[in-house]
Amino acid sequence: MREVEEMERSGKKPKLVFLANMIEARDIRAPEFLPKFGKCLPLFFWNVIFFIRALLASKGMGRAFKALPEYNILEKVTGQHLIIEIPAPLMMGWGIKWLQKITIPITRKVIYRAAFYAQDELKATVLGLGSLVKSITEKGRLIKQQGIHIPITHGDAYSVASAFQGVEKMIEEFDIPEKRIGIIGCYGTIGKGLTKLFLSRGYKVIGMGRKKEALDCFKKKCGNEELEVTTDLKYVVNESGVVITTTSATNSLITEAILTKNRRYFIYDVSQPNNLPEKEFTKLINQGYQIIRVDGGFEVGPSQLDLGFWLRLPRRIMYACFVEGVMQALENDNRDHVEEVEFGHILKTMEWAKKWGFSHTPLTCFGEELSKDYVPQRKTSLTLALSRVCAPLT
Ligand SMILES: NC(=O)c1ccc[n+]([C@@H]2O[C@H](COP(=O)([O-])OP(=O)(O)OC[C@H]3O[C@@H](n4cnc5c(N)ncnc54)[C@H](OP(=O)(O)O)[C@@H]3O)[C@@H](O)[C@H]2O)c1
């Protein structure tokens, strides 16, 4: 509060620093990192380099994060991205439990150092968390506990609002008759918020999670008869009209083993990395499965908003969690939005979005716009190779 008053007096603009991790090792080849040199080494070696750098940084030697150039947000706020140079699969130990016990603590230390750098060197007034940064810091709570005094937001309230709007758009666009919504990862931060929001708007929800106890506890807390919970991935995928994937898994959850060929599936993928990645999606389409998959949690903002770089995303497209950080800075909101998502805050971010001109993007699948009569096309290895050469990171 004191800082905001001082800033207002001095005429300085609020500053958002957005702290996110690399999604995949190939991101090193993005224009923001090492587009040429990045291609000289196979990705396996990059993973080894990322790990060694993170290990050293966790012991105070060098740092394993990169500050991208500052940008201006609607002339009212400045912004800057700090990217943790540890790709999500490495951070999560490729899903291997014993490896996670090594990689997660190392990554946390790098994140804490980056958070202090944001606060003390970059003079951030709001710290936004993206991708899996919040997942491995107990929804931002561990960062706060280190003594960070600026407000922190994990952006999940608006990610919930954005996903809700995206799914409603999908139901309308494709005229989906079955209104039961499947939520994979239903007791995660976004999953919980989405479940509550869909239930409050009269939808039936099938919530899926791996832990029966956590599911039962969540159902009890919700106290809503329209919520059914299951640990069965095949069941949720086949019984729901639209399936939302919102987990911290770094592998594909949608696989041949749980699909049948005699129905159409509608999948809204919020997860970063995706829970239905392009490679698996293309494989399934080529095998004859009918899947309409939508890029989840993507927002478009006012035309004047130009970051100057677009990390993996087409121009003007932004992650919803980033948009929440932007809006929090624009609104000079000094509260922390970490841990559980407050239902009231989801509704508040919807109002902010209307005010500042953010909305869900038109429906896309890996950047390709989807129309009502869209039918996924089988791809030959030649068209796949060509699309990779033309758009290596989107
Ligand atoms: N597009 C956007 O703007 C945007 C914004 C924010 C977040 N995200 C992405 O959304 C995803 C979820 O974020 P979050 O903040 O809700 O994360 P979170 O709070 O860490 O929750 C993730 C949930 O995923 C579950 N999970 C992990 N592996 C699973 C598996 N194999 N099967 C079923 N459930 C599994 C975890 O439950 P267990 O206890 O079983 O491990 C946990 O409940 C992340 O990928 C994040 O990067 C996207």
Mutational pocket test of ligand 1: of 154, 158, 229, 248, the residue with most ligand atoms within 8 Å of the beta carbon: 248
Residue 338 CA to residue 349 CA, distance in Å, equals 15
Please tell me the residue having the least CA distance from ligand 1 atom 10: 271
115 Cβ neighbours under 8 A, 6+ residues apart: 19, 127, 143, 146, 148, 152
With a 6 Å cutoff on the Cβ, whether 92 touches ligand 1 is no
The answer to whether residues 71 and 136 belong to one domain is: yes
- Among 96-105, 112-121, 293-302, 309-318, which is the least confidently predicted range? 309-318
Instruction: Report helix, strand or coil for 366.
Output: coil
In a domain, 227, yes or no: yes
| 285 has a pLDDT exceeding 80 | yes
Q: How far does the centroid of ligand 1 lie from the alpha carbon of residue 156, in Å?
A: 11
Same domain, 345 and 369: no
- Residue among 367, 318, 271 at smallest CA distance from 71: 318
The answer to whether 243 touches 266, Cβ cutoff 8 Å, is yes
Same domain, 275 and 323: no
The span from the CA of 34 to the CA of 55, in Å, is: 21
Please identify which residue in the block is written with the tokens 């594909």.
Answer: 252
- Any alpha helices (H) in the chain, and if so which ranges? 2-10, 43-58, 88-91, 97-116, 141-145, 156-173, 189-200, 212-222, 233-239, 278-286, 320-330, 343-356, 381-390
Q: Which domain holds residue 267?
A: 158-299+363-390
What is the rounded average pLDDT of the residues 55-79?
A: 94
Distance 246 CA to ligand 1 centre (A): 5
150 and 162 housed in the same domain: no
User: Do 215 and 203 lie in a common domain?
Assistant: yes
Residue nearest (by alpha carbon) to ligand 1 atom 11: 271
Q: Residue 75 burial by CB count (10 A; 0-12/13-18/19+): exposed, middle or buried?
A: exposed
Residue 333 lies in a domain: yes
Closest C-alpha to 128, from 161, 188, 76, 83: 83
**Higher per-residue pLDDT: 4 or 130:** 130
In the chain, the percentage of residues whose pLDDT exceeds 70 is: 93
Return the pLDDT at 383. Answer: 62
User: 108 and 43 in one domain?
Assistant: yes
Whether residue 129 is contained in a domain is answered as yes
pTM, entire model? 0.89
Number of domains in the chain: 2
39 and 184, same domain (yes or no): no
159 lines ligand 1 (CB under 6 A): yes
My answer on whether 276 and 163 are in the same domain is: yes
**Per the domain annotation, does 304 fall within a domain?**
no
Residue 308 falls inside a structural domain:
no
188 Cα to the center of ligand 1, angstroms:
6
Give me the CATH number covering residue 294: 3.40.50.720
14 & 100 share domain: yes
Domain check: are 88 and 39 in the same one? yes
Q: Is residue 306 part of a domain?
A: no
Q: State pLDDT tens for residues 288-336.
A: 999 999 999 999 998 878 787 767 777 788 999 999 999 999 999 999 9
> Is 305 within the bounds of a domain?
no
Same domain, 60 and 138: yes
- Per-residue tokens: 114: 């980056």
Atom number of ligand 1 nearest to Cα 210: 40
Within-domain flag for 202:
yes
Same domain membership, residue 181 and residue 125: no
Residue 295 CA to ligand 1 centre (angstroms): 15
